[in-house]
Structure 1
Amino acid sequence: MLAWASRSEPRRHAAVLALLLCMSPAGAAGPVFLPDIAPSSEFPDPGRATRREGVFLPPETPRLLTPGMTKRQVYALLGVPHFREGLIGERQWDYILDFYTGSGTEYRVCRLQLRWDRKMRLEKLAWSDSECRDMVYRPAPVREVAVDPKPMVAASRELALTLYFDFDKAEVREEGRRDLTAFIEANRRQRLSVTGFTDSVGQEAYNDRLSLMRADAVAGILVAMGVPLPDLQVSGAGERSPARRPEHVPDDPLNRRVVVRVMPGG
């Protein structure tokens, strides 16, 4: 069911929008996990909500939710739950989230439910319907590529750029921006994959989220440089697939990176 928003522009999450440079999940690869769809009977009565009108969010914000996060981390992203569900001891949080559809001021009202384990870590996410979930976790568009029937004489050289990050940070360094500029100038009109990685310090769920934040930061710069969103596939690999094995150096700076690759057939 679609509703109509007020003419006034929602500003609460303007900082998030600016950070992500309006990055859309339409150009992103599939997430590390996919939340469930819960029946309407599992959601509380909207009439009992403390914020019945919901809250406007860019879809990129709930996309950062990852199992294993703490309540304070979730609170920093989504704010207080909308059904008087407490910070301490409560095992379920419920939200009413509003997402613009891209058609004028039209928006969709969605319901999100979070479940916590005994250690009060995020255990399960569930959306009210598949359309709401797809607005956040929309898969990358599938493109048909013509296949040359002639056998390949030699494999083409992989074109890739690696950007490195400071510990526990997702900001792109100034030299990284310069490298991106040169890389894009040499590879105009190419489809690109943008994959984020972390070192092995910290919990795996946190590293998954951090790697995706790094990839989103790089993708945002690429969009600002004129790369079309459909030509980007963005994903986070966390601490998996390290550039250098972390047995002796868990915080190896070579593993804190984002790799931008020209995709085959681009």
Structure 2
Amino acid sequence: MALTVLPITVATAANPVFLPDIAPLSAFPDPSHATRREGVFLPPETVRLLTPGMTRRQVYALLGAPHFHEGFFGVRRWNYILNFYTGSGTTYRICRLQLRWDRRTRLEGVAWSAEDCRAAVWPVAGKVEVAAPLPQPAPPFQSPPIPSASIYFDFARADLGEAARRTLMAFAASVAGSGRSLSIIGYTDSAGPDAYNDRLSLMRADAVARNLVLLGVPVARLQISGAGERSPALKTADGLAEPLNRRTVVTIMSN
């Protein structure tokens, strides 16, 4: 299948709140007068935090002292020499950054010495080629679960307790109006003789069927059987009275 490539516009970095200016080199002081002529390496993410309205103390904590003989008070500009790696080995570009302060000594403007310096910190959004996602195959069909209910009984008993009646009422309500037949199979644990368990399992299935009829399910839709101690819900040693095996399972049948 051919891969479709669509041109879409994405930003290569978070859009800044503002975009700094580009100023001519004449606007910057002579690099030979810098207190640190070699400049300093800073992560672009750090410089990107500069925002108009910041105080000098906040900028100082972010970038450090300016690289020229510029004091903390009574000046309107701070100048920095910043180095940014180009991504090609140890090669880096030298950039000039100028911060401009208003009368309240709040940052009001930022200027770079070149476009590539600004782009190193605030990449310009542009068009890039992005492969369109391949169509995904449809998930395999899964049949919906078959509604069923398990009604549990006390040892050697075939009558329904209150919890069993509530379970059966909820099941009857969920299948009401479906018109489908119901399979009712009684089971026992492995305690007692086989013949006794076969008879007891059928009695349990019959008890569930009679309650379903009282709940409005037509008797013609019910198929009743007993499985004795065969097909236990939890396999146990012979003669063990396991409560999970003393049950009747009601299942809605397919057409």
Q: TM-score, normalised by structure 1?
A: 0.44
More contact order relative to length (CA 8 Å, sep ≥ 6): 1
Question: Which has a greater percent of strand?
Answer: 2
Instruction: Please say which structure displays the higher CA radius of gyration.
Output: 2
Q: TM-score, normalised by structure 2?
A: 0.46
